[in-house]
Structure 1
Amino acid sequence: MQQKRRLQLKANTQYLQYAESRDSTGHRQRRRSPGATEASEESRTPDVGRNILHLRDRVYTVWKKAGNLRAYSPQVAAVRELDRHGLSSAILMEVLNQSNASQFPEAERIEVANEALLPFLAEVLRIENVKEYVAWEFVRHSRVCGVSIRIEEKTLTNSCFDCVERVAGLAAHAPFLIASHDAVHQAKISFFLRSVRDFMVTALSEASWLPSKQQERMTTRVYGMEFVLGVPARHNGTRQLNGYYDYLPPGTGSFARDYSDAVRAFWNWSLRRASDPFPLLSSVPNVLSANNTVYIPAVALVPPLFDYDDSEPKNYGFTGVAVIRAVAHSLGLTGLQPLPYPYDVETPAHFDDVDRCLRLNRSMRSYSSRLADVMAVGAALRALGERRKEHRSDGGDRLLFNSCLLMCTAQDPRRCDEPARQTGQFQDLFRCPRQSPITIASQCAVW
């Protein structure tokens, strides 16, 4: 029997600061008005703290009447279609467009809610004065929380109003929605993905073990691939993102703190030899690609997993490795059979040579995607090498940490360092002496 989901409602101090600032501005304007009266003073918005506590109690009441609904049926809709789901698209659009130079497209498809909770949300949005607060939570939720002097400390556990994470499910996408409609961020994401595409084309052209016909076919496919940003990482991806927050202990409020706790939880889970990898950090092959399309999850495009200030090489460690592995899987470059084009008689012999080399390395024998891993980590190390040529800070430790975070599981606890050791750049970049136990005598000629 599935455990009932608890509804946790905690005040978001970011919203409180905004509301208090707005109220104080209105108060100053009213005081400057020549016709201000005692009645107008009394008509000011009531104390924000008490008002939020009152709204919290109202939402709790609705939740109890709904019978503690479970949130396991994700639903995606265009912004302009939100009204039919009981959500106010006008309010959401207004708040979205407050911080964007360009208008947020109404055709944008976002994760709206879990289907089982739509009736609950519809009832919540009928509560007087709650709509603006919920809209703010949907869009502005940065999870930077603390104790507000306007609300009793006992009502806070260093967390936020959890309508988004545990009820509507939009929080995982909200930071990306803001970032993706910032012109500078858009340019950096586009530039990074172009560099990933260019690397794959270069790698294919240098892969001497691939026949020329195969190189041409694969290069054409890479050029034609579409990158879709800000979506769940895999089938049931929304459930996995929600499960990620459910797994964390209570009291985590900021994204950075959640991320840190996720890392610790992941390593603890691996040490216990759990049967499944951590939900957010999946290493299941082909989770991001299908039908010549690469689906990049929103969480992989917001800090700290994606750095908008320093796109290379750290971004290759997580997002870059994930994208290149997805492309490699889509092309069939995994070290697995069958090959993508079995009718090309020259390919199997070349393919087998590389795969045989990887299999001869003891720790690589159990890999389910040897070649794809080596190609992906090799791209990250190449980016690191280019950065060092420019005499800039390299972020090598962070790069390897991110790639480990992506690829290590309980089944393959050494998976993050083995692919790196297969690349020609590893020994030079990390200055490993030849007698080092982690230095491989001869790397496999992947390209």
Structure 2
Amino acid sequence: MSTSVQDPTPSTADAPVVPVHTSERLRSWWHLPTALTALSVLALLVFALSSPGADSTTFRLATEGDLNPGGIVPEDLTLPSRILALVLALACLAIAGVLWWSAAMMRPLGRRGRPALVAAFGLLWVLAFLDWAFHGATVDVGAMLQTMMLLAVPLAFGALSGVLSERSGVINIAIEGQLLMGAFGAVLVGSMVGSPWVGLLAAPVMSLLIGVLLALFAVGYRVQQIIIGVVLNVFAIGLTSFFFGTVMKQNPQMFNQPLRLPTLRIPVLADLPVIGRVLFEQNILVYLMWIIVAVLTVALFRTRWGLRVRAVGEHPRAADTVGIDVNRTRWGNVLLGSAVAGLGGATLTIGTGVAFGEEMSAGKGYIALAAMILGRYHPVGALGAALLFAFTDALQLRLGTLPAGSGAGIPSQFLLMLPYIVTLFAVAGVVGRVRVPAANGVPYVKQ
């Protein structure tokens, strides 16, 4: 005798399935809208209302030799300072309002919507700042962007070095030392041979010395990675300062010549207004920067090698179980990253035509580390962050050359702090939470 128990719950086999989304608002949902609102109010009160009503700001967009048929792009664009700042500040407030609405109503703007709005806000806010800072003067946009590109190259190469190392699980604080060794090797070898091209080849090789030591102690001997990175930076400063004081100063013609890589001009494209000279009239290091960013982006996220690197950085034990040599992968990435940073060091010397000087990296390695974090450990993001920091540096250089009586009269001490202030705000306020590779900084011991 068998008994059957029927479930009293009515069958819903034929009922339509309705997906239920249970989205939980993050505790920090208000951080970004609040920051953008505060910046918008600052633009409205300072940039718009404090600008003299009679002054105008001139933006120089083209020159006589540019490829500009029919004057499509005006050479000089003159606009009333107060009205322009007011319009830009109100546009910033509107973007901040959209982000408030999206966060409060839990209506996501899509994968690209939110970054696009933040980028638009940044562009509008910077234009409002330029309008206020240069009122009654002329902003040469092309020249400022050229300076930005020159300053961004070492930061970009340093940030890419960090991406390569930390995606595999090795914290790279030694970017400063890698840049310094690259600058030192480029000038030393290039001067001895008499060719900046040989110096370009020597720069990544010299930086490999720091990479080998970092991999040896961090991966091989499992030393605390932040400590060894700081020690290697001090080691690089001491080593280069010793050779600079004992060898280069004694015979600069033989060991410390101010060599410079030639400018490679791409015809027609280099004649475009504003962006022509910025993108298509540069030395080979700038073109290598674009190429390496593109190659690394594809390699890290579209190839088997990139999948293995990211697996080692996220879950090394799981990667080991499928046959990936974790420590060998980390060694390779640290060495490759050091070589890339060496190219950034070469930019400081043979890329700009100056001789080597003591501690000439001047903290650029640490700013590159911040660019890597701001770029969320992605090559394209790291490049964008490097351009942002370089723009603030170029801006303070340009503001420092304004004639007396023009512009906003910003104190020179504040201008010197500007790149570092932007770095702090960008990393602490704009980025929010950045997901670090799970095994970053954790040595791996094979069981």
TM over 0.5: no
Query: When the two structures are superposed, what TM-score results if normalisation uses the length of structure 1?
Result: 0.25
Query: When the two structures are superposed, what TM-score results if normalisation uses the length of structure 2?
Result: 0.25
Higher RCO (CA < 8 A, seq sep 6+): 2
